[in-house]
Structure 1
Amino acid sequence: MESLVTIIIPVYNAERWLCRCLNSVINQTYQNLEILLINDGSLDGSANICDEYATKDHRIRVIHQKNCGVSASRQKGIDYATGEYLIHVDSDDWVDKDMIAQLYSKAIEGNYDMVICDYYEEFIRKTNYCCQNPNTTDTQSLLHKFLFQQLHGSCCNKLVSRTCYNMPNVSFPQGVNIYEDLYVTCQMLHNNISVGYLPKAFYHYFIGYSADTLSVRITLKSIKEKIRFIELISNQPFINNPNELYYFKKDILFNLFYLRQYTLLNQIYPEIKEQVLSEYRSYHVMTPNGYVLKTALKGNIFKAHVYLFISSIIIKSKNMIKSL
């Protein structure tokens, strides 16, 4: 008999996209599902949509809670889950109908604790295919690939055995709502779990923004959350070298520069500031229409926004850099 698979969907003010997400989940070819909708104090019509779907599909359970953030919502889903395998889906994303069936088949075939697949990045006018081939089965090597952003740390393109979430110290960090899934992925890998890879994409990660709306996503609040993440992960036993956090620190410095927070820029991570600014100076605009050369930056931290705003940052700020 096929195992029960739990799909955890944190929901917050997602009425615009929620039906698309839920329709893709309930129409999976794999039928033995438990679908947990964690309504995190939504202020729009999301709660009603969740309840309506629950009345139509007995596999859906809705948990309403006051707003606690995505990390607490994911953990609430873990606590309520009864499936032998678990996967997360974000409420503005969607999945192909055979995702669970194929990931589950791979997990059973190889007796894997975790199965990773490729995914799509969905922008307004284009779709990117993101290959996640780890090229290794060694969990410590995989862990470092995630830390260096060579692999995507999201829990949404990973089917995971319930036993992994039952391991000591494996839980979503409270009060940290950025990279929270990467944190848990690294915790699991530190416990030497078995990992399989399926070279297909099923998950559609909706980014959707354009350069004009990017500033809404980069705020001092989001930067502070990233700093809290670094403080949290720095004390974990799987961090063997401070250089493993370089990409995260660099992301913060770039964000500060984007917001023109020059005082803060000069105060944090002084050990890497000059190196980061040196990299920053190496970017240049190629043509009058703003096309930017592909940069040396690697990893998913930057992939979503470097191509969208790096040229405008350089044009506006090239003189400012020299004075730092």
Structure 2
Amino acid sequence: MPKLSIIVPVYNAEKSLPICLDSLLSQTMTDINFWLVNDGSTDNSLEVCQQYANIDSRFHVINQKNAGAGKARDNGIYQCDGDFIGFVDADDWIETDMFEKMYDAAIRNDCDVVRCNVVMHRNGKVRERWNPPFCNQVLDKTRIEQEFIPLLIAPESEKDFDHRLLRGCYCYIFLKDTVVNNHIHFTDFRSGEDVIFSIEMLLNSKRMFVLPNTFYHYMIYNTDTLSKSIKAINDPQRQKTRAFMTKLLKDTSGYPIVVERWKQEDRRVVYLDIRIAAVYAQGLSSIKRLKLIRNVLVSDESRRAFKDKIDRSLPLQMYMLYLLIKWKCALLLLLAVKYKLRKA
């Protein structure tokens, strides 16, 4: 039985897949295997996966009908045989010593979960994401609930929102027995399913360790994503995800902190809805964009998010934009957001 199994959900990733799989092939940890779950790809992804399985017996290929990344990961979890499990997305890549260092940290500190840092690549720019202040420390269940999980929602200070932790499941390794014994699965939500999985795993873990090392390279190839689609504005999926997370967290010692952090997240989400309407609503006239912004401003989500006073310690530009949202100044927001992003 290997010490670690890595699960890679694959869907139409033939162009990026070789870079990802080469980074797995070059791992310094040897007692490891890789489970490539082809999620009904219509390109040559399955053939690429099979090529690597032919090269190295540690690669295993699972082929399934298209069911989404969550189902693909679940399929991998319940077929793999490692003591610990980890995830890598098919369009990302990792440093060669990532899993050796993470597994070593798990065993040395007797932890169910280990997390590393992430660097994001987007439009030729590289940005290392912020790590929490308790790197190289063991967190027990209380600290996981009261310190770590709230940081996945938002940082302590709203002015640092852009530096919050990335929330996906790809920068962790998890003890597999914790997953199986607690019947933890990925949801079928369109987005956020990996966040929910990570939080559920953390809540069922006794101890975790956070490494400061930047091991995972998160690649953003397509900037015209769902987050910039009109369909994402006031998406009911958000309420569904929040309800699920509330059910998970409401009885934990950190829940009051999480509720306060959600207020930050809600304000940023409303701003992003306005940004989509103002800038990314392709093919719409200014009048229709203005109507979309007005609909956002009068929504229950906006009313709740901007009920409290705006934090004066926010960067001036964001503070002014938040005031315009609170005052429901649709036309000024349309002009201000377009100008802000044109300069960015």
Shorter-chain-normalised TM-score: which range? Answer: 0.7 to 0.9
- Match in the other structure for 1:316: 338
2: CA distance, partners of 1:247 / 1:55:
49
- Match in the other structure for 2:73: 74
2: CA distance, partners of 1:249 / 1:78:
33
Residue 48 (structure 2) pairs with residue 26 (structure 1): no
2: CA distance, partners of 1:231 / 1:159:
26
User: C-alpha displacement at 1:226, in angstroms?
Assistant: 3.3
The answer to whether the Cα contact below 8 Å between 2:2 and 2:81 also exists between their aligned partners in 1 is: no
User: C-alpha displacement at 1:245, in angstroms?
Assistant: 2.9
Q: Deviations over 1:39-69 (max 9, x none)?
A: 1111222122112222222111111112211
1: CA distance, partners of 2:41 / 2:68:
11
Question: Partner letter of residue 249 of structure 1?
Answer: D
2: CA distance, partners of 1:101 / 1:24:
13
2: CA distance, partners of 1:24 / 1:169:
30
Residue 272 (structure 2) pairs with residue 249 (structure 1): no
State the SS of the aligned residue for 2:306. helix
Q: Deviations over 1:168-203 (max 9, x none)?
A: 252211x21322222122112223420112111111
Question: Partner letter of residue 250 of structure 1?
Answer: R
The answer to whether the Cα contact below 8 Å between 2:115 and 2:172 also exists between their aligned partners in 1 is: yes
TM-score by length of 2: 0.74
Equivalent residues in 2 for 1:112-127 (5 A)?
A: 112-127=111-126
The answer to whether the Cα contact below 8 Å between 1:106 and 1:115 also exists between their aligned partners in 2 is: yes
The answer to whether the Cα contact below 8 Å between 2:73 and 2:186 also exists between their aligned partners in 1 is: yes
Distance 1:190 1:13, change over 3 A: same
State the SS of the aligned residue for 1:253. helix
Equivalent residues in 2 for 1:48-59 (5 A)?
A: 48-59=47-58
Residue 111 (structure 2) pairs with residue 94 (structure 1): no
Question: Partner letter of residue 76 of structure 1?
Answer: N
User: C-alpha displacement at 1:76, in angstroms?
Assistant: 1.5
- Match in the other structure for 1:165: 179
State the SS of the aligned residue for 2:20. helix
- Match in the other structure for 1:322: none
State the SS of the aligned residue for 1:197. strand
The answer to whether the Cα contact below 8 Å between 2:129 and 2:165 also exists between their aligned partners in 1 is: no
Distance 1:274 1:196, change over 3 A: closer
1: CA distance, partners of 2:263 / 2:34:
37
- Match in the other structure for 1:231: 243
- Match in the other structure for 1:219: 229
- Match in the other structure for 1:304: none
Question: Partner letter of residue 74 of structure 2?
Answer: Q
TM-score by length of 1: 0.78
How many residue pairs get matched?
Answer: 291
Question: Partner letter of residue 178 of structure 1?
Answer: S
Distance 1:44 1:192, change over 3 A: closer
Percent identity reads 24
Q: CA RMSD in A?
A: 3.2
Distance 1:221 1:31, change over 3 A: farther
Q: Higher mean Cα deviation, 89-98 or 154-163?
A: 154-163
Q: Which has the larger radius of gyration?
A: 2
Q: Higher mean Cα deviation, 82-91 or 50-59?
A: 50-59
Q: Deviations over 1:117-170 (max 9, x none)?
A: 111111232211223235272121212222325432221111111122124252
| Structure 1 unmatched runs, 5+ | 286-291, 297-310, 319-324
